[in-house]
Structure 1
């Protein structure tokens, strides 16, 4: 089974450093979801390289591989020069994650030219996975709404599962993490 994981950019969640507790909660929610899919035969996680959920997903899969060595992560970028206009520290972070990926590729080998490349990337991700997990809440739209809408439309004609980790899910995850800390 192959799973597409995407969601909010870090800045859309006002997360600007790795010590932000919101990032810890989101990574735990992603981990919880991936563990459920592992029980159902998950072998590949496909994601992009966007700052935020996509990069955190690569980190989560990398951590899970200690217990699930059969689990692989593919980082598929929408175009050739992806991330080249980012600040140097963000480019370095992307490079590190590229090295952690089991597979690295670009859907378009051309530098960014038009929004169609992003639509082509969405279609590629949908056609090469059986399900998607999106850290996304339709009541709090962000750039991920385009991925969400594409997945919803794809579901109309295809047997495709879409799971959203919305604000309620993230709050439940935070509450459970707080309870576990109290018990420790």
Structure 2
């Protein structure tokens, strides 16, 4: 798998409102562990959509992993232009940090948000431009990632596409050493 799309819960869906929340450390450690495995098995690109939460933490982990794995790259592919422009100043700074370290930044729609079809087109783009996905998602705890998962499962019916999960059990059972 050369290109891995990572998405999952937004920070507010997990009740995380500060980066100092202890949950963030666990999530990042689990992401790090999974990413190392992917990188050591040939993953070259991490694709992210720019959402706060899972995707932001994945971007931070990729930046940290570049010390030992300088070959790993990540792209930010927003669903539309001006994505996040209505976020508060703290979240806008987080977005700027993600952009600063990304190897590639673009949007699937080069217009500001107009309608839900831009989000659907973004999902299709991510599916067709990745070999699989890693989702911080648990079917027992629905969130916005459910919409991507449904499309990924449909896509998987006619394409070779891997869907991997980090579940709530994975997070709860992770031991910090």
- Normalised by the length of structure 2, the TM-score is 0.97
Secondary structure of 2:33's counterpart equals helix
Instruction: Quote how far apart the aligned CAs of 1:62 are.
Output: 0.5
Distance 2:24 2:153 in 1: 26
Segments of 4+ moved more than 4 angstroms: none
Instruction: Quote how far apart the aligned CAs of 1:76 are.
Output: 0.7
Where structure 2 has 5 or more consecutive residues not aligned to the other structure, the ranges are: none
Instruction: Quote how far apart the aligned CAs of 1:38 are.
Output: 1.1
Distance 1:168 1:22 in 2: 13
Distance 2:114 2:83 in 1: 11
Where structure 1 has 5 or more consecutive residues not aligned to the other structure, the ranges are: none
Deviations 1:24-51 (A, max 9, x none): 1111111111111112101000011111
Deviations 1:147-172 (A, max 9, x none): 11111111111111000101111112
Deviations 1:45-76 (A, max 9, x none): 00111110011111110000110000001011
Q: Which residue of 1 aligns with 2:111?
A: 110
- Normalised by the length of structure 1, the TM-score is 0.94
Compare the two structures and name the one with the higher helix fraction: 1
Conserved? CA contact 1:79–1:109, under 8 Å: yes
1:143 aligns with 2:140: no
Q: Which residue of 2 aligns with 1:58?
A: 59
